[in-house]
Structure 1
Amino acid sequence: MTIYTGDDISIKSRIKANPFLKKIALRMLVPKNEYRPRVWVKWILNPLKHKRGKGSVIRSNSRTDLFPYNNFSIGDYAIIEDFTTINNAVGEVSIGDKTIVGIGSVIIGPVIIGNNVMIAQNIVMSGLNHGYEDVSLPPSEQPVTCKPIIIEDNVWIGANSVITAGVTLGKHCVIGAGSIVTKNIPEYSVAVGNPARVIKRYNSLNKCWESQN
């Protein structure tokens, strides 16, 4: 059981409840008209908050827009390849052991990724959506909604696929290249297309992959 001290609750709640304090806190963390943390946040605050596993690699050409007010973790021997963007501004990003995040991918939290996951090149997964219902405002100025994406262990996501907010990919499922995944995909299955649909499932009794018509 986690025990929160009165001071922790008081400081966080006061900042969130007070627009002026919230504005000052954000300005200290984020430069005006930018969406990435200040250098001092990356160098001083983030190492104290975020967790990196043994042997993990984050390539220098990747863009890690990470903030200390949401969690970020990368497991043992996991790799974030070049030109990837990781952003936890609106939700946690967790990457499991021995998981590979391929070149040019974009991960916007909340996203929880398990162990031994293969994320190929140019994958986009975002747990964030902007509102659009109020036609008097552009979507960029409307409230955001967040639904976590969950990628379970041993999943393989093919290149140029998109995983939308709120989707869960079950254990050892495979997503074909170029797929748009808008609904949960069950474990031990293969899904392809736009929107993605299941075309194969593993039969544990027959120990083979069977086509789904």
Structure 2
Amino acid sequence: MWHPFNNESYIKLGNKVFVGHACEFVCNEKILIGNNCLIASKTTFNNTGHEYKINANINQQPITSQAIILEDDVWIGTSCVILQGVTIGTGSIVAAGSVVNKSIPANEVWAGVPARFIKKRI
């Protein structure tokens, strides 16, 4: 956390959440994890990035941050990366090794780099 003692930077875990070994939370904005979620090992949540406009060097670009939200009953496979501004809907599954750079609706299975829709959960 960049600023651990303010009202904008925090991680909130719901009830009965499993977080596997070697997960990483890069948090400059809130990260909200709902109830009954499974987060497999080596998953990274990163809600911080940089702008990349041509008018300045990369290391001088402003930082960007947007919340990450996992709704209830979400399963994240091992070694996934969840990026800023993403909401993963209730009951959705993200396959191992996926990079999630956009929000996922409820009850869907997504996989890949970048993650894409695979099928509805039935």
Name the TM-score class by shorter chain. Answer: 0.7 to 0.9
Paired residues of 1:113 and 1:153 also in contact (CA < 8 A): yes
RMSD after superposition: 1.9
The corresponding residue for 2:17 is 99
Letter in 2 for 1:100: F
- 1:9-158 equivalences under 5 Å are 67-70=4-7, 91-109=9-27, 110-134=30-54, 136-139=56-59, 141-158=60-77
- Distance, in Å, in 2 between the alignment partners of 1:145 and 1:127 is 8
Letter in 1 for 2:53: E
Paired residues of 1:134 and 1:142 also in contact (CA < 8 A): no
Aligned counterpart in structure 1 of residue 89 of structure 2, from 150, 166, 170: 170
CA shift for structure 1 position 92:
2.3
CA shift for structure 1 position 108:
2.0
Letter in 2 for 1:103: H
In 2 relative to 1, CA 93–195 (structure 1 residues): closer, same or farther, beyond 3 Å? same
- Distance, in Å, in 2 between the alignment partners of 1:144 and 1:92 is 17
- Distance, in Å, in 1 between the alignment partners of 2:19 and 2:7 is 20
Aligned counterpart in structure 1 of residue 119 of structure 2, from 200, 203, 206: 200
Larger relative contact order (C-alpha < 8 A, sep ≥ 6)? 2
Letter in 2 for 1:67: P
The corresponding residue for 1:32 is none
Higher percent of residues as strand: 2
What is the SS of the residue equivalent to 2:96?
coil
TM-score, structure 2 normalization: 0.87
- Distance, in Å, in 1 between the alignment partners of 2:105 and 2:86 is 11
In the alignment, structure 1 segments of 5+ residues that lack a partner are 1-35, 37-64, 72-90, 203-208
Paired residues of 2:4 and 2:10 also in contact (CA < 8 A): no
- Distance, in Å, in 2 between the alignment partners of 1:96 and 1:66 is 22
CA shift for structure 1 position 130:
1.6
CA shift for structure 1 position 119:
0.6
Paired residues of 1:111 and 1:126 also in contact (CA < 8 A): no
- Distance, in Å, in 1 between the alignment partners of 2:68 and 2:56 is 30
CA shift for structure 1 position 142:
2.5
CA shift for structure 1 position 171:
0.3
Q: Calculate percent identity across the aligned residue pairs.
A: 37
Aligned counterpart in structure 1 of residue 104 of structure 2, from 175, 185, 206: 185
Higher percent of residues as helix: 1
